Structure 1
Amino acid sequence: MKRIVRFLLITIGICAWQNSHAQIIPDSIEHIDSLMLKSPRPILFLLTTDWCKYCALQKKQIRKNQKFKDLSDKLYFIEFDAERKDKITYQGKEYSFKPSGLNVGTHELASALNKSSQISYPSWILVDKEFNPIFKQNSLLKPDQINDLLDAIAYSL
């Protein structure tokens, strides 16, 4: 009997620890149209690249941010690699990678979201439930700036 109680306590402890250390899992751009049909919410995009050190830092800050975790069920969050090569359908339109040189280029969706082909990374874009852009920032956000943005999103909901 003591073994069963001990096993249950250990299992509960592990589950509680995992839940308290849960990371933010970005939503998939491939599914955002269907998600928005089921449950419209604001969408927060983070445009990044694999080579951007500031992007990696920004992602790390997000994963540690408790406000972000608390708000994650009220908005969709998408980390979008602006140099990905596959075709993507967003709002019924197909977007693809546009090369600008040998093994370099930008995905059309990143340019469309940014409203410009000149993108600096990381870039933040917030769209409302109707896909209207309401915030754009083309730079690293400090943790307090992320919190201010999240507070503004929470206030508008």
Structure 2
Amino acid sequence: MKKHVWIALFGLFGLLAVESQAQTLRWTSFEHLTDSLRKERRPVLVFIHTDWCTYCKMMELRTFSDQQVVTKLQEKFYCVRLNAEDNQPITFLQRAYKFKPTGVKTGVHELAQVLGTENGKLSYPTTVFFDQYLQLQGRVVGALDAKSLKQVIESGIVLNHLAPER
């Protein structure tokens, strides 16, 4: 019996060790993005979400924890999360954006509207891609699974991250 307990404990610790080695996506903020781009030019991915959005949570838990996605994004991109209902002002491209109330306890951040609006509508989640010079390259409205995000990143259809240095 003791032998089985020890085997189970070693197995559990082994799983925990493997789990702890799993990479997690490092997000940056808009306030740190400028400094990061000064150090090294990279394309930028902006993930627009809300706290109540089920599909946003799915992307955070599944897509942005997939090890291949994490590796590709960490190597090639700066990734920024933008909560569309955050009430903190954000400066981006030398312009200040703020939260706009639309009702009692509701509203939307101006930056989320500017970056995420497609055909006159802001939907969650929306993933916005910029090149290394912060030129808008495209946006994907709706949830992306890991396979789809890898295809978008690798295809270069939305992105032109291999553009020559200016």
TM-score (norm 2): 0.77
Aligned identity (percent) is 27
Against the structure 1 CA distance between its residues 156 and 128, is the aligned structure 2 distance closer, same or farther, given a 3 Å change threshold? Answer: closer
Q: 1:98, 1:108 within 8 Å by CA — same for their partners in 2?
A: yes
Question: What letter matches 1:84 in structure 2?
Answer: D
Against the structure 1 CA distance between its residues 21 and 125, is the aligned structure 2 distance closer, same or farther, given a 3 Å change threshold? Answer: same
CA deviation after TM superposition for structure 1 residue 73, in Å: 2.5
Question: What letter matches 1:103 in structure 2?
Answer: K
Match of 1:106 in 2: 108
Question: For residues 145 and 19 of structure 2, what CA distance do their matches in structure 1 show?
Answer: 27
Match of 1:66 in 2: 67
CA deviation after TM superposition for structure 1 residue 74, in Å: 1.6
Q: 1:123, 1:136 within 8 Å by CA — same for their partners in 2?
A: yes
Question: For residues 77 and 140 of structure 2, what CA distance do their matches in structure 1 show?
Answer: 18
CA deviation after TM superposition for structure 1 residue 126, in Å: 0.2
Question: For residues 22 and 52 of structure 1, what CA distance do their matches in structure 2 show?
Answer: 24
CA deviation after TM superposition for structure 1 residue 19, in Å: 6.2
TM-score (norm 1): 0.81
Question: What letter matches 1:38 in structure 2?
Answer: K
Match of 2:8 in 1: none
Task: Give ranges in structure 1 of 5+ residues lacking alignment.
Answer: 1-12
Question: For residues 128 and 19 of structure 1, what CA distance do their matches in structure 2 show?
Answer: 32
Matched, 1:121 2:130: no
Task: Give ranges in structure 2 of 5+ residues lacking alignment.
Answer: 1-13
CA deviation after TM superposition for structure 1 residue 18, in Å: 6.3
SS at match of 1:45: strand
SS at match of 1:106: strand
Against the structure 1 CA distance between its residues 134 and 102, is the aligned structure 2 distance closer, same or farther, given a 3 Å change threshold? Answer: same
* Number of equivalenced pairs: 145
Against the structure 1 CA distance between its residues 92 and 134, is the aligned structure 2 distance closer, same or farther, given a 3 Å change threshold? Answer: same
SS at match of 1:73: helix
1:140 to 140, 143, 151: 143
Q: 2:63, 2:144 within 8 Å by CA — same for their partners in 1?
A: no
Q: 2:129, 2:136 within 8 Å by CA — same for their partners in 1?
A: yes
Question: For residues 102 and 49 of structure 1, what CA distance do their matches in structure 2 show?
Answer: 17
Q: 2:131, 2:161 within 8 Å by CA — same for their partners in 1?
A: no
Question: What letter matches 2:121 in structure 1?
Answer: Q
CA deviation after TM superposition for structure 1 residue 56, in Å: 0.2
Q: 1:67, 1:150 within 8 Å by CA — same for their partners in 2?
A: no
CA deviation after TM superposition for structure 1 residue 152, in Å: 2.6
SS at match of 2:23: coil
